Every structure is written in C-alpha cells, then in structure tokens.
Structure 1
Amino acid sequence: MTSQGDAQSLLGIKGVATSTGQIASSQPLADEAALSTGKQADLGDCVNLSHTDLRTRIARVVEVDPQTDTRWVGFLAAHSDSLIYHHPAWLQVIGEAYSHQPLCLACEDSDGGFRGVLPLFHTRGLLTGRRLSSLPHTPVAGPLALDDQAMAALVCAAVERVRGRPGTSLQLKMPRAGLDGLVEGLRGAPWEGTYVLELPKQPDQLRFGDSRNHGRIKWAVNKATKLGVQVRPAETEGELRTWYELYLDTMSWHVVPPRPYRFFKLAWERLRPQGLMRLLLAEQHEAGRSKLLAGSIFLMWGQTVVYAFNGRRREDLSLRPNDVIQWLAIHDACREGFRYYDLGEVEKHQQGLAEFKAKWGAEPRQLYRYYYPEAHELERGIFMPSSYNRQLVNAVWRRLPLNVTATLGDWIYRYL
C-alpha cells in the first residue's frame, strides 16, 4: 500500500485549507496577458531574487500542452530529478480519470528552450475548496527547473493565477524543502516521509541492510520459491482486473479509499505501452494449478522506479509473495540502469509498513507541501490509531462490501 497519502488523510480527517476564505490582497505579480501570450512578464515584485538575474536568463513563462509540445518530454529526459509524475502520459491519466482541467506552465529562455516546467490541475473539493495543485492524486510533483530563477518564475506565474481567482489556493507537492524564500507568501510544511533506496551499478552489488537482514530476506525468497511462488509481469487487462480485486481487499484492510478501476485501466492503456508501468504478479504453482497471491504496480521514468500500488491475499502472506515481488523488482530496476527505487509514502503511525520498507535498505526522506496563501491543517491527528474514533472508523470501513468501498473511494478522490 503506497502513494495513498491524500486518501489516508481524508479518512483520518487530515486536510489542508486556507486560513481564510479569500486570497490576501497584494501587488500584481505580472501581467496575465504577458504570461499567457508569451510576452515578457515583470516578475520582480513576486520573487525574492535579483530582477536582473531573471531578465538575463528567462524570456517568458507560458502555458503549453505537454501532449503535443515535444520540448516537455525532452526537458524531462535531460533533467536528473524528473519523475513519472511529470510525464505527459501520467498527466493524461489523471486528467481523464478524474476530469480535472490541466494548466501546464513552462519557463522559456530567449531561444525558446525550456528552463523549467510546472504541471498543475484545477480541482475543487468540499474540504479544500478551489485549488490549483501539482499534482492531485499524486504523492509528489511540483516545479522542475534548471535553477532557482526558473523555479521562482514558474511558482510566481502559478501564484498570479491563484491571485486572479479569489477563493483559490495553490498546492505544490515537493520531494524536498526547496521553495522557501523564493516567492513572497508561499509557505511550506513537512508532509509524510517516503523511503528511497539508492541502487548500485550492478545487481550483484545489492545489499539490503546488514548481512543478517540481507540473509533473512534471501532466505524468505528462496523458501517462497521452493513452495512454488513465481513472479511474472501481467500481460492482459483481464489480469489487471483480477489483481484489482486483491487491491480492493488490501485497501479495505488498511482503511484507505481505493482508486477506481478506470484509473488503473487508463494507466494500463497510457503508461504500459510506453514502458512506464509494470504490474508484477506473484503466483503459486502447485499440482498443475496456479493461484494469484499478490501483485504490485511499478511506475518508472528517468532515474527512478516507484513502487506505487499493491494488492495481496491476506491469508497467503505466510508465503511471502510481496518479498519475492520486491526482490525481483529491485533487481530489475538495478539491471535496467535506474538509480533510485522509491518504496513510497508511510504515515507516522504505520510502523509495520515503515519496517517493511526499511528492511530493503531504503532511507526515509521527508516530503514537503507548499501552499499559497499560507495554509493550516484541519484537525490533524484527531483520528490517530490510538483514538476511539479512529478505531471505530477502521471497524466500520473493514466491514463494508468491497464494491461499496470502491464507490466511496471514487467519490472521495473526486470531491474531497
């Protein structure tokens, strides 16, 4: 279970809202027409950087369509920090699955080359109100730039669009605290942590923690293999549909709203043909029969593979199917030349999940969220696991039929 921080926060009544219903009044950032039509915008009043520096490096910030403008993918391919979540195919999946309107900004130099990009979507939630987010239904994204000047120009352009829509807020989900002080009024706060494993150049150099921990994992994988557990990539949408039933049960047990099936179907259709998604299935082969035990979806782009979604049969966990999947996926990522393996977000109270991810040698990394105007968190921690209310929510949610949790999950992702 990974990449579910937003949904977990909803069931835990943890969210973010602006401290007032209106955007604070201030000086205009830049001329809206200049930004949208490509004319040079005066960003000096918006950013805390040298106005001269901005003019010498940046020609303009413009709206672009990543689906048709090949400069977007070209910029991502050349940037070491780009993630699958910046990719046009992922943006297409999010837009089609949840009917969000995209707003994608690019910072150009005087020669028309990209110095930075910022994918955004317009959303509207009952708790969060109107928002410009990078990105909804995604653990991390935010601006990607060559330098602080381009980064500031992109954030400034996003802030201006928020200021032009009273009652709207800006949310940027960042892998690190990199936006502090760039734009006046933008405030950051620590979010959940993720676990990232830095991969060696060769698979035979992989070591999961100390020798004792590595030996335990290898023993578990060998034992599972002897019991007939094998891992292979899914090949048909029918196999995706079968896996989805395990995913629903897993999300029900962990009390996390599940994603709708159409989201996974779109990912299968848009990402998999480009080699950006892989579903690995763990099956037990015994007496001529095959039984699906677990499956995990991985997203890959640039230098990073992301362990994104998991479904398993709870009664078959003793066969260690998830360990076999992770072992193969990590070795494959290393063999294919990726540098990082991201095991995904973990909430502070999920000690068991944190231990599972840490045993692979992954190091915790703090994620951050930035807001404009300054935001405060609503009732954070009211329904922590130790509270009676949280226990009641868990008990009720786990008793709901899986098709009901699927319907509720779809509604939560769309409207909260």
Structure 2
Amino acid sequence: MKPLNQEAKFIDPISDPRWDRFVEGHHFGWICHLSGWKRVLESSFPHIKGYYPVLLDSSGESISAGVPVFQVKSWLTGNRLVSIPFATLCDPLISTPDDMRQLLELTKGLYLNNRNAYMEVRTLMSSDLMECRWFSKSLVFKNHYISLAPGLNEIRRKFHQKSVQNRIKKAINSGIELKTGESEADLFEFFKLHKLTRKRLGLPCHPYRFIRNMWYEFYPKGQISLFLALKDGHNVAGLISFKYKKRFSMELGAVNHKYMGISPTHFLYWNAITTAYKEGYHILDFGRTSSLNEGLMLFKKKWGTEVVDLPQFYYPHNKGRAQNEESIKYRIISKLCKIAPINLQETIGDFCYRHMG
C-alpha cells in the first residue's frame, strides 16, 4: 500500500522542469537521467521511446522518486523495457524499496500492453533497494573508478609501473599533443577513428547521429568533453567523456592501431584524470565492462582502480537475460564487423543499433 499523500503518475520530463531539478538533487542522479538523454535517444533511434513514472507528494510540486523506462521494439531481439538504454551507469532514482514497488506497479501496464518479453533495470548504487522477490539479478558487468581525493601524485603511484606509468612517459616523450574538441569537425574526426576501432574489435560502430546528438545536447551545457591526441598533425586517438555533478566518466575511446606503439590511449586517459582533478571532480570513471572481457578488465585494473558490480535486474522473475559475449548472435556480428570493409561499418552499425538498447 502506498504512503498517504503520494501520487504515482507518468510525466513528460521535456516539458516538466521538475524532472531535471529532481535529477540534480537526487544522490543517484546522473547525466543519463536528464531529459536531454530522452531527446538524444528518441531523435537517434526510432525504435526507442521513453516513459517517466514518478511519485509526487500531496502538493504535486515535488518529485520524490522516479525511474526512466524506455520501450525498445525489435523484431530481431524482441520487445522489452529498459532503464536506461545505452547508459553505462544508471540507477532507479529511489530512496526505499517501497518506492521501487510503487513505480513497478505503475510500469506494469507498459510491460503488458506492448507485449514485452521482460523489463531490465540497471543499477550502480541502488541495488540494495531492489527487492529480489520481484526481479532476477545478473552480475555480468563491472564498474572501474578512481577516487580523485588523494591527489595526482598518489593516484599515479598506484598505476602499474610497466603497463601504465612507463606508457604515459613514452607517449609524452613521443611528442603527442592534446587537442580539446570544440566543433562538429573535431567530433567527426573522432568518429573516423571510432569506426576503425570498432572494426578492429569486432563491434558495431555507434551511429554518427547518436554521437552527434549527444554532442549538441550536452556540449553547450559543459557536460561532455572531447579530447584528441595528435601526432605530427594527425588525429591518432580520441576520448569522449561525460561530466556531471562530481563524476567525470570516460565513455567512448578510439585509436588508430598504427600508432598504438606510442600509447596515445594512455596519454588521453592521463589527461582526462588530470583534467578531472583540476576541475574539482571527485570520481574518475572508466565506465562499464563485461566480466567476460578479461583483457579489458585487466587493462582497467592496472590503472589502480576500484571495482564494483553493476547489477542488472529483470522483471518478471527469471524472465530476463544478461548480454552474453559468447552467444552465437554476438559472435556472428563480431565476425561480420571485423571482415567488412570500412565503408560498410556505418551500415552494419545502423542495423545492429536498430535492435539494441
């Protein structure tokens, strides 16, 4: 039974200014909770539509809890509800298990009416507030981060000597230069590197319209940054990061593998860390990593990171499934991305992301 004087309803976060104020004030609030993320997703992907169930107090002036839920429709991967698509970090914006119960009751209509296979709720800090009798739980993904409180000298001391410290020195001595991206032309230079990187790794590249929409939504507000590494006037690596509240999160990285010998990725990561520290952020985030990706897990560990689980919850109980990098579908797409020529990478990415979320 819901508490007295608390109303459960759907709101439109784009037209209702209360939502972004609520995100800013909630201890779990992150950039992907903002109304701007809904604009980015819906303008980038026609198969995704966002709904925002909230709990209001009796005055109707204050939001006390909310969980963005997005309808993802696909004939290939099935219909489902996801909170929140393409967000490396997110949580239900709740304070108690009863908040989640009420929001789940309100969301059940969406789940049933659109014949969804399941609802997926991704978490970072709120997992203790999720009642497991309602959900299945998966622990496939991890989050690596560095506390910036100790200062740059102490942070650097924890880096692996050979794999990180020496590579940073090598990159600096090679004459790599840092450029801060300020225009769409800079963004497109990053995207060209992004296509090369995803092909090499056997991953579909993000549609350019998605990256572009993120840029125009968050760059004017100072919530996204782009670093480029230049060698002899050529862009050899790039890094896109989110900046919100006290967290600086490295989201998308790209590198020309021909220049990996001079470690431009290490150069950009170190510059991200120093920038985040100087700008007063508390956490430097390395994003989300599948525990099945042992190489990437080890790479991030060598930066002296802390590691925590990113639990995913699925409703109804035992209905959901975590992504599996060993699945047949994943291996087919990975093989296709690796063998396809560079001029087909955007086509493959557009098709794959039409069914992802």
Report if TM-score (shorter chain) is over 0.5: yes
Change (3 A) 1:162 1:232: same
Q: Report Cα offsets for 1:295-344 as digits up to 9, x if no partner.
A: 01001212222111111110101111111111111121122222222212
CA–CA separation in structure 1 for the residues paired with 2:76 and 2:312: 17
Q: Given the alignment, which residue of 363, 369, 377 partners 2:321?
A: 377
CA–CA separation in structure 2 for the residues paired with 1:175 and 1:125: 27
Change (3 A) 1:282 1:381: closer
Q: Report Cα offsets for 1:155-178 as digits up to 9, x if no partner.
A: 332234323444453221112533
Change (3 A) 1:97 1:380: closer
3-state SS of paired residue (2:240): strand
Change (3 A) 1:329 1:96: same
Change (3 A) 1:318 1:169: same
Change (3 A) 1:89 1:378: closer
Q: Given the alignment, which residue of 94, 97, 102 partners 1:145?
A: 94
CA–CA separation in structure 2 for the residues paired with 1:216 and 1:396: 31
1:328 maps to 2:271? yes
Aligned-pair CA distance for 1:395: 4.8
Change (3 A) 1:376 1:94: closer
Letter of the structure 2 residue corresponding to residue 262 of structure 1: R
Alignment of 1:273-284 (within 5 A): 273-284=220-231
Aligned-pair CA distance for 1:293: 1.1
Change (3 A) 1:108 1:398: same
Alignment of 1:4-403 (within 5 A): 44=1, 54-56=2-4, 59-99=6-46, 100-111=48-59, 112-175=61-124, 177-181=127-131, 185-200=134-149, 202-209=151-158, 213=160, 217-285=164-232, 290-374=233-317, 375-377=319-321, 380=324, 382-383=326-327, 390=331, 394-403=334-343
Change (3 A) 1:143 1:79: same
Letter of the structure 2 residue corresponding to residue 171 of structure 1: E
Letter of the structure 2 residue corresponding to residue 361 of structure 1: G
Aligned-pair CA distance for 1:238: 1.0
CA–CA separation in structure 2 for the residues paired with 1:201 and 1:82: 24
CA–CA separation in structure 1 for the residues paired with 2:168 and 2:142: 27
Number of equivalences: 351
Change (3 A) 1:82 1:404: same
Change (3 A) 1:126 1:396: same
CA–CA separation in structure 1 for the residues paired with 2:169 and 2:138: 43
CA–CA separation in structure 1 for the residues paired with 2:50 and 2:321: 25
Change (3 A) 1:350 1:187: closer
Letter of the structure 2 residue corresponding to residue 414 of structure 1: R
Specify every segment of 5 or more residues in structure 1 that has no aligned partner in the other structure, as ranges. Answer: 1-43, 45-53
Comparing 160-169 and 299-308, the one that deviates more: 160-169
Superposition RMSD on alpha carbons, in Å?
2.5
CA–CA separation in structure 1 for the residues paired with 2:105 and 2:85: 20
Letter of the structure 2 residue corresponding to residue 241 of structure 1: F
CA–CA separation in structure 2 for the residues paired with 1:381 and 1:350: 8
CA–CA separation in structure 1 for the residues paired with 2:178 and 2:326: 40
Partners of 2:96 and 2:129 within 8 A in 1: no
3-state SS of paired residue (1:245): helix
Change (3 A) 1:104 1:316: same
3-state SS of paired residue (1:144): coil
Q: Given the alignment, which residue of 403, 408, 414 partners 2:348?
A: 408
3-state SS of paired residue (1:55): coil
CA–CA separation in structure 2 for the residues paired with 1:357 and 1:159: 38
Aligned-pair CA distance for 1:379: 9.7
3-state SS of paired residue (2:272): helix
Partners of 1:143 and 1:155 within 8 A in 2: no
Query: Who wins on radius of gyration, i.e. which is larger?
Result: 1
Tell me which residue corresponds to 1:9. none
CA–CA separation in structure 2 for the residues paired with 1:279 and 1:381: 28
Partners of 1:308 and 1:343 within 8 A in 2: yes
Specify every segment of 5 or more residues in structure 2 that has no aligned partner in the other structure, as ranges. Answer: none
TM (normalized to structure 1)? 0.77
